[in-house]
């Protein structure tokens, strides 16, 4: 009996699967090579390299820069000139790329990191008492440097992350980031592991400024109605644990700051998520205003048709240090 020939669809599917595997393995190899080249590079060297790379890749990065300038115009309007918006957008992109690399380049000495904030004592008290808690971070400044410091001073620290699409690249990147920190990695899809960590007295680092695709809470952020991901707030309520707002920024002199705000405790009030979302965003807003050029403006935070982006409050211009950095003479 003659064997059945595979259908055209089967052949096409197998060829597509093979091509996908080849791309994944190639990306993983390139990632390994890049990590080997970048390992141990200084921040000063990396900053220069990123600026030159951004200039060379300007055409490919143009959509990201357009998103950033549009966000800056939406938030600040005529308080920033078109030239200032362009400069801040480029600085924001440089800051984002540097943040992505900070976990694998030369570690920063602890004496260069100034740790402060009204919530710091409460955070360490929670740890001493075995109380789980959530660190509510955002895409501002040097989040991986802040993460490294926290992982060296907190017990049982875990980070919630979005796994890379490439299953071969994901463990390589996690291993690189873990080489300079002492933390565990939990997929954003593993709600059970998150809850277990908190109930066992551990701490979770979660990004609170990601765009939500469902179940959003609406709150005032930078003077605009903004969709807020409910995950950190809902998890805090379910585990009955506090959420600490945290920011981490670079200073112009090569030093770093890690700031911890007062804990936001869940309550049984009907508007608990709404109230805590507003308090969290308002606290983060102050640091974005002060270090505007280090914020993640390339994110599509306000999207057409989702009911966000309406002006609900007048917002002043960013801090004087930001305006000084946004002058053409600082472009470099």
Q: Could you tell me which residues come within 8 angstroms of residue 96 by beta carbon, excluding any fewer than 6 positions away?
A: 139, 296, 298
Does residue 59 or residue 267 have the better pLDDT?
267
User: What average pLDDT does range 199-206 have in this prediction?
Assistant: 94
Stated pTM of the model:
0.86
Nearest CA-CA partner of 322 in 133, 140, 134, 109:
140
Token digits of residue 161:
């992350």
Predicted pLDDT of residue 263: 97
Q: What is the pLDDT of residues 272-310, one digit of tens each?
A: 999 999 999 999 999 999 999 999 999 988 988 888 889
Give the pLDDT band (50/70/90) at residue 210.
Answer: confident
CA distance 239 to 258: 25
More confident of the two residues 130 and 179: 130
173 pLDDT above the threshold of 80: no
Q: Name the DSSP class of 292.
A: G
pLDDT band at 2 (very low <50, low <70, confident <90, very high): low
Q: How far apart are CA 1 and CA 109, in angstroms?
A: 73
pLDDT at 27: 80
Domain 14-332 maps to which CATH number in 1.20.1270, 1.20.1050, 3.40.1130, 1.10.1760? 3.40.1130
Average pLDDT, the chain: 86
| CB distance 229 to 86 below 8 Å | no
Q: pLDDT tens, 111-169?
A: 888 999 999 999 999 999 999 999 999 999 988 888 888 888 888 899 888 777 777 87
């Amino acid at each position: 009996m003659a064997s059945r020939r595979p259908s055209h669809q089967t052949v096409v599917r197998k060829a597509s699967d093979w091509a996908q595997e080849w791309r994944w393995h190639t990306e993983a190899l390139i990632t390994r090579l890049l990590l080997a080249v970048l390992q141990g590079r200084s921040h000063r060297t990396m900053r220069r390299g990123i600026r030159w790379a951004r200039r060379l890749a300007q055409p490919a990065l143009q959509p990201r820069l357009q998103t950033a300038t549009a966000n800056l115009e939406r938030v600040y309007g005529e308080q920033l000139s078109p030239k200032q918006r362009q400069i801040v957008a480029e600085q924001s992109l440089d800051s984002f790329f540097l943040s992505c690399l900070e976990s694998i380049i030369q570690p920063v000495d602890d004496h260069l990191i100034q740790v402060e904030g009204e919530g710091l004592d409460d955070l360490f008290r929670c740890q001493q008492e075995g109380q789980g808690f959530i660190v509510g971070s955002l895409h501002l400044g040097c989040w991986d440097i802040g993460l490294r410091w926290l992982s060296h001073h907190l017990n049982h620290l875990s980070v919630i992350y979005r796994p890379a699409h490439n299953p071969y690249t994901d463990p390589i990147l996690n291993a690189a980031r873990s080489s300079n920190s002492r933390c565990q990695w939990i997929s954003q899809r593993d709600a059970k592991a998150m809850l277990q960590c908190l109930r066992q007295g551990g701490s979770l680092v979660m990004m609170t400024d990601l765009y939500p695709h469902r179940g959003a809470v609406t709150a005032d952020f930078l003077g605009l109605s903004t969709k807020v991901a409910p995950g950190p707030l809902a998890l805090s309520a379910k585990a009955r644990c506090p959420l600490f707002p945290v920011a981490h920024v670079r200073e112009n002199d090569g030093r770093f700051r890690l700031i911890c705000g007062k804990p936001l405790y869940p309550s049984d009030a009907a508007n608990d998520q709404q109230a805590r979302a507003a308090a969290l965003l308002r606290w983060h807003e102050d640091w974005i205003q002060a270090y505007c050029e280090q914020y993640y403006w390339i994110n599509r935070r306000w999207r057409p048709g989702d009911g966000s982006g309406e002006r609900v409050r007048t917002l002043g211009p960013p801090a004087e240090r930001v305006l000084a950095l946004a002058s053409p003479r600082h472009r470099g």
